[in-house]
Amino acid sequence: MTKRDYDAVVVGSGPNGLAAAITMQQAGLAVLLLEGKDTIGGGLRTAELTLPGFKHDICSAIHPLAVSSPFFKSLPLAQYGLEFIYSPYAAAHPLDDGTAAILQNSLTATAAGLGDDESAYLQLLQPLLKSWPDILPDVLAPLQWPRHPFKLAGFGVKGLRSAEGIARQYFKTAQAQALWAGMAAHGMQPLHKPVTAAVALVLLLAAHDKGWPIPKGGSQQIADALAAHFVALGGKIETGTMVSSLKQLPGSHAVLFDVGPRQLLQIAGHSLSAVYQWQLNRYKYGMGVYKVDWALAEPIPFTAEACKQAGTVHIGGTYAEVAASEQAAWQGEIADKPFVLLAQQSLFDNTRAPSGQHTAWGYCHTPNGSVVNMTEAIEKQIERFAPGFRERILAKHGMDSQQMEAYNPNYFGGDINGGIQNIAQLFTRPALRLSPYRTSAKGLYICSASTPPGGGVHGMCGYYAAKRALKDVFKIA
């Protein structure tokens, strides 16, 4: 190879860009990581959005896949100050009768709390939980020959189904149905769509395996630990460098882009084949989000006591209500009673707010690109299950779908999953190719959440993209 400024350049410092940079650097290469903003992190950032002393996670907040990720687990991130905190309950889902379905680390304890659906919950999840350590690396991987094909098939038989189909077959109680609906709704699709069961299964199994942790001090701590490890390996980071053209990049043998298909077209479109450009232009994005952060004088006064012990609270009432909310957003409509995903990190992490005060983080799904202010609708939903919530608000900060995209261009139209994760785009995101990470241009790769295995803070998209580049360009298996 001819001499270049760097062996590889990574554009974008989200969890996948950081994972790609670390993987390349671990192979003994000279790697440069470029970030457009003044701080690294992508969706892993924390800031004082409301009042001084109140730390809010701007995008992601709770990280079940960060502690399950095979790649992250291989790194000594604790030595760079990363500490995870676990709430007594991973999640709770309140209902109007004052009760709540509770997701605990213990599979049997969770099942016992579902009354008449105890045996059904065990029947659905117990066999998969036994296989989870073996199949997780394949669940968080591109399409490949699995390490444990029969065990993975057991997951696939259930995961490829719709959340609606699973709910009808297994659950009878309002609590179990609501808990299941809240998990499936993370997939940002109507619950009758195929593969929506997979999202719910992954989240439930992650809770029963490792739990749903909160990074002490905020999500930024995950990015900072990854960056510190990369630098310790000899890597170089440059912030404040927004890349809009290949001409801006220093010489290298490989470039990995932690960007979405639309940004890739803007940056490198002239270098890509017409067919590949056509495929990227056809790539489909899903719902957007509207997000609110609150500074609170006191904790949220949930009627159901269990909600006060949960890091995550799914607010949406019954299965039917959650399903209707997701269907509305999918159809381009605004739900009167949106499903709200809420996190209350400061209950368990006293670094998030001044002594005695608290933060809360919440969002609902909206039509892609929506600029409708959902703050009132979200707060009404919280007040429904926590009367007196509004009286505790000191300040608030909202972001609609377009503002989310402006903050992070990978969230096109506010789609925080980097594109629909449906049956058509599960393994072929962002284009149908032998390797989803290769572009049509030699030496150019895409490593964002718009590649398998998709959205979530796990770094596996970046890891596999880097492995592909190492093999193709540097002949390193």
72: exposed, middle or buried (C-beta count within 10 Å: 0-12, 13-18, 19+)? buried
Indicate whether 164 and 206 sit together in one domain: yes
Nearest-angstrom CA–CA distance, 269 and 51: 42
Cβ-based neighbours of 105, under 8 Å, separated by 6 or more: 86, 90, 207, 208, 211
Q: What is the pLDDT of residue 426?
A: 82
Indicate whether 127 and 275 sit together in one domain: no
Tell the residue number behind the tokens 């007594």, with chain if given: 88
Provide the whole-model pTM: 0.96
Question: 452 in a domain, yes or no?
Answer: yes
C-alpha dihedral, 128 to 131 to 134 to 136, nearest 10°: 10
* Inter-helix orientation angle 174-184/196-209, to 10°: 100
Paired with 295 in beta bridges are 359, 395
Is the per-residue pLDDT at 2 higher than 70?
no
Q: What is the pLDDT of residue 1?
A: 59
Residue 425 maps to which CATH number?
Answer: 3.50.50.60
Which DSSP string do the residues of 10-78 spell out, in sequence order? EE--SHHHHHHHHHHHHTT--EEEE-SSSS--TT--EE--SSTT--EESS----HHHHH-HHHHTS-GG
Q: What is the pLDDT of residue 477?
A: 86
Fill in the amino acid letter for 171.
F
3-class DSSP assignment, residue 104: coil
Indicate whether 189 and 331 sit together in one domain: yes
pLDDT digits (tens, 9 = 90+) for 265-320: 999 999 999 999 999 999 999 999 999 999 999 999 999 999 999 999 999 999 99
Q: What is the pLDDT of residue 427?
A: 83
Question: 202 in a domain, yes or no?
Answer: yes
Nearest-angstrom CA–CA distance, 331 and 54: 36
Indicate whether 124 and 181 sit together in one domain: yes
Domain ranges, residue 144: 84-214+287-407
3-class DSSP assignment, residue 92: strand
Question: 57 in a domain, yes or no?
Answer: yes
The DSSP secondary-structure symbol of 250 reads P
Contact 316, 185 (CB under 8 A): yes
Q: What is the pLDDT of residue 287?
A: 97
Question: 39 in a domain, yes or no?
Answer: yes
Phi, psi of 53 (to 5 degrees): 90, -10
Indicate whether 277 and 389 sit together in one domain: no
Q: Any idea what the Cα angle at residue 362 is, between residues 378 and 394, rounded to 5°?
A: 80
Domain boundary at 407, 428, 444, which? Answer: 407
pLDDT digits (tens, 9 = 90+) for 321-376: 999 999 999 999 999 999 999 999 999 999 999 999 999 999 999 999 999 999 99
Q: What is the pLDDT of residue 205?
A: 98
Q: What is the pLDDT of residue 3?
A: 66
Indicate whether 395 and 315 sit together in one domain: yes
Q: Is 266 left (phi over 0), alpha (psi -120 to 50) or beta?
A: alpha
Domain boundary at 390, 407, 424, which? Answer: 407
pLDDT digits (tens, 9 = 90+) for 94-142: 999 999 999 999 999 999 999 999 999 999 999 999 999 999 999 999 9
Domain boundary at 374, 392, 407, which? Answer: 407
Indicate whether 95 and 178 sit together in one domain: yes
Determine which helix (DSSP H) or strand (DSSP E) holds 277, and give its type and residue range: helix 274-282
Nearest-angstrom CA–CA distance, 31 and 34: 10
pLDDT digits (tens, 9 = 90+) for 151-202: 999 999 999 999 999 999 999 999 999 999 999 999 999 999 999 999 999 9
Q: Average pLDDT for residues 399-417, to the nearest whole number?
A: 96
Is the per-residue pLDDT at 204 higher than 90?
yes
Q: What is the pLDDT of residue 320?
A: 98
3-class DSSP assignment, residue 272: coil
Nearest-angstrom CA–CA distance, 48 and 356: 17
Nearest-angstrom CA–CA distance, 35 and 236: 11
Q: What is the pLDDT of residue 424?
A: 86
Is the per-residue pLDDT at 423 higher than 90?
no
For the chain, percent of residues with pLDDT exceeding 90: 97
* Inter-helix orientation angle 149-159/196-209, to 10°: 120
Indicate whether 92 and 152 sit together in one domain: yes
Phi, psi of 236 (to 5 degrees): -125, 135
Q: What is the pLDDT of residue 118?
A: 98
